[in-house]
Amino acid sequence: MLRAPTAFLRLTATPLKHITLAASLLLAGCIGGGSSSGDASDTGSTAACGKTETRNLLVNENTTYRDNLSLCFSAEEASLEADGQLSELHWEGNTLAFRSSHVDRPRRTQVRILDPHGSTQLRINVVVENRSGRADEIRADHLVDESASILALSEDRQAYAYMLEVAYLEGQIDWSERQSMLADWTPETASAHGTLAEKIKKVERVLEDYRNGRAGEYELSQAADLAASYLGAHGQYAADKLMALARDQRIDVAVPDISTGELAYRAGVEQVSRHVGNPMYGELVQQQWQFDRRYRFLNDVDIVETRS
């Protein structure tokens, strides 16, 4: 993130915001102004006399940048220097212009304007933003930010067990089926949970490297793809099992979708559970299921699921 006008640019794990001018030049010495035009725009600025001024810019890749500068010396007497990632660096009257190149990650570079004596009067720190990798960055961000919610889905084995218990009491499945279906929770084992957690941690590390220019969009996409491939064997397994139970019992209620987030998922599980019942074991009272007193022990499970 770009923080202060005179601070040297540092890339951190904080997402870069899409702005053209991140920090304006502090004016000192000479007085003057200007205007700008082009694909990337900026307000006019004045290069100070007697000391080096610093500006920080964030520009898109493949973008032409122009800025009018009022210098303490003739532009014809000045010289320009630039590091990589920039091309077509030149003066047009009093206008500085350059074009950013295509990048596969945020790139840091610099433009220096030297006076006739060879002293740097204006230093422009430039970060070239990787527009093509934005979708991968957003996806990686989501995996990292939502990791606690994603990983918590392993706890929903209890809700699944409750659904199996009710299905058994309804006669939809027999005892052996109940036992085998409960044992068939292999994608939610501790091993699978740990593997997913490890893959999300890797996404976090690669995302930080990407934002600091140490990894490209390909590496970021690969890490996110690998983590996402484990999601199907994680929370979606519980959702699919609940969907099958609801379909078999013709429950007229929406089955939870894990893509809406952990809280919505739990609320959906609870809603499905309340609509499952059998008149032999209780009855619906004002749309709430109440077990017969012979099966009140199931209310304890019900309460646990509600509080979870």
CA distance 132 to 113: 30
Report the 10 Å Cβ neighbour count for 200: 24
CA 71-73-74 angle, to 5 degrees, is 95
Compute CA 41 distance to the chain's CA centroid, rounded to the nearest angstrom.
28
Compute CA 44 distance to the chain's CA centroid, rounded to the nearest angstrom.
35
Q: Specify the amino acid at residue 274.
A: R
Is residue 190 classed as helix, strand or coil in its secondary structure?
helix
Find which of 9-23, 108-122, 137-151, 166-180 is predicted with most confidence, using mean pLDDT.
108-122
Contact present, 15 and 137 (Cβ < 8 Å): yes
Question: Where does the chain have alpha helices with state H?
Answer: 134-145, 147-151, 157-170, 175-183, 190-211, 217-229, 235-248, 262-274, 297-307
Is residue 304 classed as helix, strand or coil in its secondary structure?
helix
**Where exactly does CATH 2.60.40 map onto the chain?**
1-132
Q: Which carries the bigger pLDDT value, residue 117 or residue 220?
A: 220
Report the 10 Å Cβ neighbour count for 93: 6
Flag whether pLDDT at 2 surpasses 50: no
Report the 10 Å Cβ neighbour count for 59: 24
Tokens of 278: 């059998």
Mean pLDDT to the nearest integer, 127-150: 84
> For helices 157-170 and 262-274, what crossing angle results, to 10°?
10
Distance (Å) of CA 11 to CA 1, 27, 94 = 7, 25, 31
Q: Specify the amino acid at residue 234.
A: H
Please give the backbone phi and psi of residue 290, each rounded to the nearest 5 degrees, phi first.
-125, 120
Q: How confident is the model at residue 148, as a pLDDT? A: 76
Q: pLDDT tens digits for 23-80?
A: 222 222 332 333 333 444 444 445 556 677 888 888 889 989 888 877 766 666 778 8
Q: pLDDT tens digits for 238-271?
A: 555 555 655 555 544 454 454 555 445 445 554 5
Q: How confident is the model at residue 31, as a pLDDT? A: 28
Tokens of 50: 């007697």
Query: Which pTM does this prediction carry?
Result: 0.50
Q: pLDDT tens digits for 100-109?
A: 999 998 999 9
Exposure b/e, 150-164, CB count within 10 A at least 16 = b? bbbbbebbebbebbb
DSSP of 124-183, one letter per residue?
EEEEEE-STTHHHHHHHHHHHHTHHHHHGGGGGHHHHHHHHHHHHHHTSS-HHHHHHHHH
Class for the domain spanning 1-132: mainly beta
Give the list of residues 6+ apart from residue 7 with CB closer than 8 angstroms, or none.
Answer: 23, 56
Flag whether pLDDT at 306 surpasses 50: no
What does DSSP assign to residue 52?
-
- Tell me the average pLDDT of the chain: 66
